[in-house]
Amino acid sequence: MAEFFGATVEDVFKTQDARFRAEDAKGVDAVVAYDITGEGGGRWRVTVRDSRAVTEKVTGSDFGAFTTKITTDAETFIGVTVGKIDGTAAFTSGRVKIEGDMKIVALLPRLFTKYSPPSRGVSARDIIATFPERFRPEAAKGLDAAIGYNLAGEGGGQWTAVVKDGRLEMREGLAENLTVNQTVGARDYVDLMLGKLDPMVAIGAGRLRITGDMEVAKVLPKLFRKYEPKEVERGPELIVLKKTISVGMRFSTGPVMGRFLEGLKGRKIFANVCPSCGRRQLPPREVCAVCRCRAGEFVEVGPEGVLVNVEICYYASPDPLTGETRETPYGTSNILLDGCRGTETFWHYIKREDLFDVKRGSRVRPVWAESRTGSVHDIKYFEMVR
């Protein structure tokens, strides 16, 4: 039988039932007919019903009743199956034809784990086997965790990495009381390790699921040196240079921002007022952009106020002034200080301990830094008035 991309059509259908994921097939009742044309082709029928999958070769020309029929040539079929040909592009260009219920086609990647040719490339099992040599004891100091790897499909399996006292022990199977558990298809896991699949994309699509202690999950990438595939598994080398730009800068405050920052040193918050519309600007700006006139008059506002908007941020972003990653979750907020009206809010942090207690309308006050230099950090954060 003709082979494309290291596999035959027969290979794919032989493993079809073993790749079935019953947990995602609840309520699915469908018969998918495959008419694979040309050299190396054939006809198959895959029935999904009552959380079971049955794959049969069709010998005659009649598929019987089907929900959906997929017609394509053997090369395209295998190419799409192993990810060498873009499925949507093949469909758009007419190389793949679909009759009947389209919805099932979108469901197929969830119902069956991806087929991987038996002899091709590295397996998830191979990568797991490199854990001990890639382990970085210095990064595991003080960590006591059991990390589960639930990698379904060909070349996969279940493992637990037990990290304690700067040591790593690999165990077969998933331990009870896992600190973190990761569930992902074995092929996807390999692609993640090779940098071919973006982790955020995998999480977004529900292909990678991480449960348990997210603080521990975040340090996992640091526990192991990067997996380096052997030469044969790589295409032609493509050079990627990694750099960090770091340049010193000097910002002029100007008289208006300067007066505001000077005020913070003395624990005072100054707004300036537009003589035309009367709005207070926080921080003050030289002009009112709405009225296009100079806003010169300063008034002291606050320091207490009412919370108008609070955002709890879980995304670990870098502080662009230091390049260091901020600790999550943190909360930024917009506060209507006493003396301000409408949208004249003040932008600052909320105390971490108060993050889940405060709400819109909560009364808050600034907590001043001991040493104040005339910067945003002269206020450490706002806290709830209890």
Partner 1 sequence: MDATGGKRGEQQTADEEHACCKVVEGKLALPYQYFAGRVGSRFIISLRDGKRILGVRCDACGRVFVPPRQTCERCFSDLSEKWVELSDTGEIVNFTVVRYEDRHLPRKPPFVLALIRLRGADTPMAHIVEGVAPENVRIGMNVRAVFADKTTNCILDIDHFEPV
Partner 2 sequence: MKKPKKNRNVGIIGVGQTIYSSHREDVNQAEMVHEAVALALKDAGLTRDDIDCVVHGNMELFEMVHQPDIWHTIATGAYGKSAFRLTTGGTTGTTVVCAADNLVASGLYDIVVAIGFEKLQEGHTTGGITNMADPLWGRHLQTGALTDATAQAMIREFGEERALRAAMRMRVQMDKHACLNPNSHRSFGLDYSQIDDLMKNSPRLVGELRLIHMCSQSDGACAVIFAGEEKAKKLSDKPVWVRDHITVHREETFTMYSLDPADRDPSSHRIAAQRLFERNGITNPVEYFDVFEMYDPSAWWGLDWLRDFMLLDGDEHLKMVENDEILIGGKMVMNPSGGVVAANPIGATAIVRVAEAALQVRGDAGRHQAPGGVRHALASGFGGTYWTVLVMLEKDLDWQEVSADG
H or E segment and range at residue 311: strand 305-313
Rg of the chain in Å (alpha carbons): 30
Backbone angles phi, psi at 179, to 5 degrees: -75, -45
CB of 344 to partner 1, least distance (A): 10
Q: Does 306 engage in binding with partner 2 (CB under 8 A)?
A: yes
CB 81 within 8 A of CB 12: yes
Residue 280: which of partner 2, partner 1, none does it interact with, CB under 5 to 8 A by kind? partner 1
Q: Does 98 engage in binding with partner 2 (CB under 8 A)?
A: no
CB of 201 to partner 1, least distance (A): 18
Residues listed for the chain: 386
CB 4 within 8 A of CB 74: yes
What binding mask, one character per residue, do residues 19-38 give for partner 2 by CB under 8 A, x or -?
A: --------------------
Per CB under 8 A, contacts with partner 2 among 308-347 are 308-309, 311-315, 317-321, 332, 334, 336, 341-347
Q: Does 195 engage in binding with partner 2 (CB under 8 A)?
A: yes
Alpha-carbon gap, residue 72 to 178, rounded angstroms: 44
Q: Which two tokens stand for residue 279?
A: 């709005």
Q: Find, among 292, 294, 276, the residue nearest to 284 by Cα.
A: 294
Q: Which two tokens stand for residue 349?
A: 């942090």
Q: Does 371 engage in binding with partner 2 (CB under 8 A)?
A: no
Label the pairing between strands 280-281 and 269-273: antiparallel
CB of 310 to partner 1, least distance (A): 23
Query: Where does this chain bind partner 1 (CB under 8 A)?
Result: 236-256, 258-259, 261-262, 270-271, 280, 296-301, 318, 320-323, 338-341, 374-375
The three-state DSSP-derived secondary structure of 19-33 is: HECHHHCCCCCEEEE
Binding site for partner 2 (CB under 8 A): 86, 88-89, 91-93, 103, 106-107, 109-110, 195, 198, 200-201, 203-206, 238, 240, 243, 245, 249, 251, 253, 257, 261, 279, 281-283, 289-290, 306, 308-309, 311-315, 317-321, 332, 334, 336, 341-349, 360-361, 375-377
